[in-house]
């Protein structure tokens, strides 16, 4: 852990809370095996003090009846945009944190494309302190790779790390200058931080709004060539091999990029990759046409929804272990911004509240993936990218926990979202896996 999140005065303090009769999986409790079991978990103050398969008879302040619910370690999201400082009308650290815990996330990694940019220790410290003060969810800031995300001058990674940055990235923009990117990898390696790459060669993406293919041509919308991503992923893997730096591919979306990561991993290159639920479940053919004949901008994000073949390649990579983590790339925008024409609307969709239900419903409930693997991709393995030790429910560790309801179907509506923004392509979807209770360091931060 890079820093500890302390309880606010007057909250749970040293309260004892018993979580009774929850379903869990053995390996999530650090025990051998994948079998389900029923457990009782005692939380004292901010930590888990006792885990037992038999009744816990200690006197407690409160009991949570978890019968029929699945107990998970708090989820970790490697990529969110909380918009504070600077664009609080879309989201702020408080509303973003509420959206996170509603989705079962207790830790998120926030991107530096705020205003001002998180390219200096003051902005990083502000984000970390603000998150600590709110005390709902752990928000780990990242520092930008270049000043102002302008791709011209490298920031000082040593001071960014000292202020609390857990990674270096210019997310929101690709780094166009290869030499600058390689120097960033060298510098990041020397301070032991991963470099997160929004892989986009702008000479190939060419100001496009959606994936370049049949759909972009049919609607006369400027397309983003899939090579714009894979060219930068190739560059990053080669540079990682040369420099030994940890290179992480943000929101991977194309078959070619996945093939490159697969090959690099086989060679032992220090590369990791994340995929987002929307790239696993949607493709460009799914973008709905509005009444005026234009395309709905709530299906617009960067990288864009790709071809069906790319979507299937993402699914295959998720199931064969190429993918290290699932990231929402939670990117809130106001209804006014998103109701514009698809070419002028901003990129991005929200995703914190729907991520686990989408993955659970489409991959676990349909028997393509085990629940244990799903939780690992959304907690332990996601945290490991940033050196955050989490994802197991063990005695003596922070009580970051979530109880999920895997049995009750629910419909995603605009009202469902805790985020300030509602720009989701999954509204109307029927899913399973809603969080019923989320606890962050012993505090109940969400209950439904």
Residues with catalytic roles: 329
Closest CA to 380 of 360, 396, 400: 400
User: In terms of CB distance, is 22 or 111 closer to Zn ion?
Assistant: 111
| Helix H or strand E encompassing 65 | strand 62-65
User: In terms of CB distance, is 81 or 422 closer to Zn ion?
Assistant: 81
User: In terms of CB distance, is 171 or 400 closer to Zn ion?
Assistant: 171
CB of 253 to Zn ion, least distance (A): 10
Which pair of structure tokens corresponds to residue 190?
A: 């020397």
CB of 171 to Zn ion, least distance (A): 4
User: In terms of CB distance, is 150 or 162 closer to Zn ion?
Assistant: 150
206: left (phi over 0), alpha (psi -120 to 50) or beta: left
CB of 172 to Zn ion, least distance (A): 6
Which residues contact residue 15 at a Cβ distance below 8 angstroms, ignoring those fewer than 6 apart?
Answer: 44, 45, 61, 62, 442
β-partners of residue 140 are 109
SS3 at position 211: strand
Longest CA–CA separation in the chain, Å: 67
CB of 167 to Zn ion, least distance (A): 13
Pairing mode, strands 62-65 and 16-25: parallel
Tell me if 248 contacts Zn ion by CB under 5 A: no
- CB atoms under 10 Å from CB of 396, counted, come to 8
Name the closest residue to Zn ion (Cβ). 198
SS3 at position 435: strand
Token look-up 């290290």 returns 324
Tell me if 200 contacts Zn ion by CB under 5 A: no
- CB atoms under 10 Å from CB of 416, counted, come to 18
Token look-up 């000082």 returns 156
Count helices and strands in the chain by DSSP H and E runs? 14, 20
Task: Tell me which stretch binds Zn ion (CB under 5 A): 141-149, 166-174, 395-403, 407-415.
Answer: 166-174
User: In terms of CB distance, is 64 or 352 closer to Zn ion?
Assistant: 352
For Zn ion, the binding residue among 130, 138, 198, 338 (CB under 5 A) is 198
CB 18 within 8 A of CB 2: no
For residue 336, give Cα distances in angstroms to 294, 300, 304, 327, 437. Answer: 16, 14, 20, 26, 32
CA-CA-CA-CA torsion sign (288, 294, 298, 303): positive
CB of 66 to Zn ion, least distance (A): 36
Pairing mode, strands 75-80 and 47-52: unpaired
User: In terms of CB distance, is 246 or 251 closer to Zn ion?
Assistant: 251
Tell me if 171 contacts Zn ion by CB under 5 A: yes
Task: Tell me which stretch binds Zn ion (CB under 5 A): 168-176, 209-217, 221-229, 384-392.
Answer: 168-176
User: How many residues sit close enough to Zn ion to count as binding (CB under 5 A)?
Assistant: 2
CB of 144 to Zn ion, least distance (A): 12
User: In terms of CB distance, is 44 or 229 closer to Zn ion?
Assistant: 229
CB of 149 to Zn ion, least distance (A): 11
Closest CA to 428 of 305, 292, 299, 293: 299
* Segment 19 to 78, residues that bind Zn ion, using CB under 5 A: none
The residues of the shown chain that bind Zn ion, judged by CB under 5 A, are 171, 198
């Amino acid at each position: 852990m890079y820093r500890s999140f302390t309880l606010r005065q007057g909250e749970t303090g040293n309260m004892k809370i018993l979580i009774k009769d929850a379903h869990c999986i053995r390996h999530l409790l650090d025990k051998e095996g994948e079998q389900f079991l029923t457990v009782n978990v005692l939380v004292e103050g901010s930590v888990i003090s006792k885990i037992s398969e038999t009744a816990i008879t200690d006197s407690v302040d409160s009991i949570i009846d978890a019968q029929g619910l699945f107990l998970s370690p708090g989820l970790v999201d490697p990529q969110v945009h909380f918009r504070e400082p600077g664009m609080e009308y879309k989201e702020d650290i408080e509303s973003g944190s509420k959206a996170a815990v509603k989705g079962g996330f207790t830790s998120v990694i926030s991107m530096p494309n705020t205003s001002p940019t998180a390219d200096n220790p003051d902005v990083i410290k502000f984000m970390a302190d603000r998150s600590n003060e709110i005390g709902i969810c752990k928000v780990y800031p990242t520092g930008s790779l270049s000043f102002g995300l302008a791709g011209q001058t490298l920031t000082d990674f040593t001071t960014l790390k000292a202020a609390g940055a857990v990674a270096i990235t210019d997310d929101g923009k690709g780094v166009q200058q290869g030499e600058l990117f390689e120097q960033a990898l060298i510098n990041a390696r020397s301070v032991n931080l991963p470099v997160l790459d929004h892989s986009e060669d702008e000479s190939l993406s060419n100001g496009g709004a959606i994936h370049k293919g049949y759909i972009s041509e049919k609607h006369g919308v400027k397309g983003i060539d899939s090579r714009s991503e894979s060219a930068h992923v190739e560059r990053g893997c080669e540079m990682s091999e040369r420099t030994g730096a940890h290179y992480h591919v943000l929101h991977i979306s194309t078959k070619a990029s996945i093939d490159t990561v697969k090959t690099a991993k086989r060679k032992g290159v220090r590369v990791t990759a994340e995929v987002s639920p929307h790239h696993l479940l949607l493709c460009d053919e799914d973008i709905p046409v509005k009444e005026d004949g234009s395309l709905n901008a709530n299906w617009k994000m960067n990288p864009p929804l790709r071809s069906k073949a790319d979507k299937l390649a993402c699914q295959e990579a998720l199931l064969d272990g190429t993918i290290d983590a699932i990231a929402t790339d939670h990117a809130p925008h106001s209804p006014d911004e998103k109701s514009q024409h698809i070419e002028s609307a901003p990129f991005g969709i929200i995703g914190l509240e729907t991520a686990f239900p989408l993955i659970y419903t489409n991959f676990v409930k349909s028997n393509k993936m085990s629940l244990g693997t799903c939780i690992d991709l959304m907690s332990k393995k996601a945290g490991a990218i940033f050196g955050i030790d989490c994802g197991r429910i063990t005695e003596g560790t922070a009580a970051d926990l979530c109880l999920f309801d895997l049995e009750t179907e629910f419909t995603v509506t605009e009202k469902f979202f805790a985020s300030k923004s509602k720009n989701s392509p999954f509204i109307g979807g029927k899913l399973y896996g809603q969080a019923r209770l989320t606890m962050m360091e012993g505090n109940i931060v969400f209950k439904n």
